[in-house]
Structure 1
């Protein structure tokens, strides 16, 4: 009796070993499909479902590798042929593998369906209009605004200390100049979420600059009035 039991255990071990070998081969093969899908879809992760006469196969992939391959037969329970969890039951794997070739054929048909997709696509595109002239004029204006802002910063530094802010309202909008020494750290219009005409970051959009540039003179004039009210020996600044 003992020998018979040991023989049974050996036989089941052999089934499990063959099951694991088959599952590993399927993982490797399905991994090739996963990589091809990732290339085709242009993403690191996703999933596709392929229909066969026997059921449907869902392949989920991530980073170009298969996450799971699930078979949903027309009747019966679904089987995770490939997964990150425990391997499938031998009988369920055997049933799924009977439809595996049909799954691969369905995938191949899916890929073939894209053949000729770009045949009528033209790569002759219109010439791109240069923004060089526009940006050069923008930069010229911004450089002039920075010069004026730095001049104001120098006067504020001389009167109010090493750093600080000066603000006023122009056309119903808050304008704020922050200085650090003799240089303007920023000139911002419209509060904390506003437009920075002067900053350590990139230039403002050209359309916003055009909208605000006409008020720069009024901002400077308001500053000069502020200086006059101080009755201090400060230079005035003009903006042409």
Structure 2
């Protein structure tokens, strides 16, 4: 159809049919699929080598830098930085790259793969001289047995104190606090006996608890002072002048 838009100018509209891009886009998608598959193998091998769920590595070539990033062993992206000019995300979760930029980047892809292979080869034999003849591991059985012996005795005495306090005070739970050598000791009890024995306030050491054991160093420091705690309890009983039995170690 001819349309006279201006006098003396006749325009055929549209002047030229737009060039179809389907073939170019299809070819680009085929190339990207092949690159994604191949670079995905690199990401998988890199994840195995690095020993993590995610990470990245940059490989330098004569034309620029390639960065492969992986997550969960799968390729997240492959980026080419020519140094001058814009970076090209050859593979990414975003839109595909421009065909011209893709072609320019892939002209260096072989050098990237060879650079990665050189990196892997450089690690070959790096562990050859590492000995696995490790020293024997010392057993903790003796220390644990001693810890349990001391703590079982401390808990036994604390249960007796808790029983006496419950008998006197009544109710299902309560606390007894005192100071030994300037340090606060707190025994909390419930219907089952001692709930915890804590030394040093709210951020102190739980010598007896329903959870973890104290360290051997803490036991060594505080177990000898436990006698003074029991004496303080007995003094407390004497002060009450009530029918509470004292506790002997």
With the shorter chain as reference, the TM-score category is over 0.9
Partners of 1:230 and 1:144 lie apart in 2 by: 26
Query: Of residues 113, 118, 135 in structure 2, which corresponds to 1:104?
Result: 113
Instruction: Name the residue aligned to 1:129.
Output: 138
Query: Of residues 198, 202, 210 in structure 1, which corresponds to 2:208?
Result: 198
The answer to whether residue 176 in structure 2 is matched with residue 178 in structure 1 is: no
Contact 1:151 1:182 in 2 (8 A): no
RMSD across aligned positions (CA):
1.4
Instruction: Name the residue aligned to 1:157.
Output: 166
SS at match of 2:27: helix
Instruction: Name the residue aligned to 1:13.
Output: 22
Deviations 1:189-218 (A, max 9, x none): 111221111111121101110000111000
Between Structure 1 and Structure 2, the one with more helix by share is: 1
Partners of 2:123 and 2:192 lie apart in 1 by: 64
Deviation at 1:234, TM superposition (A): 0.8
Deviation at 1:60, TM superposition (A): 1.1
Contact 1:157 1:182 in 2 (8 A): no
Deviation at 1:24, TM superposition (A): 1.8
Count of equivalent residues: 236
Give unpaired runs (5+ residues) of structure 2.
1-12
Query: Of residues 184, 190, 197 in structure 2, which corresponds to 1:187?
Result: 197
Structure with bigger RCO (C-alpha 8 Å, 6+ apart): 1
Partners of 2:130 and 2:79 lie apart in 1 by: 36
Partners of 2:182 and 2:28 lie apart in 1 by: 77
Partners of 1:223 and 1:197 lie apart in 2 by: 16
The answer to whether residue 238 in structure 2 is matched with residue 217 in structure 1 is: no
Counterparts of 1:75-94 in structure 2 under 5 Å?
A: 75-94=84-103
Query: Of residues 60, 68, 72 in structure 2, which corresponds to 1:59?
Result: 68
Partners of 1:90 and 1:30 lie apart in 2 by: 18
Give unpaired runs (5+ residues) of structure 1.
none
Deviation at 1:182, TM superposition (A): 4.6
Instruction: Name the residue aligned to 1:140.
Output: 149
Instruction: Name the residue aligned to 1:228.
Output: 238
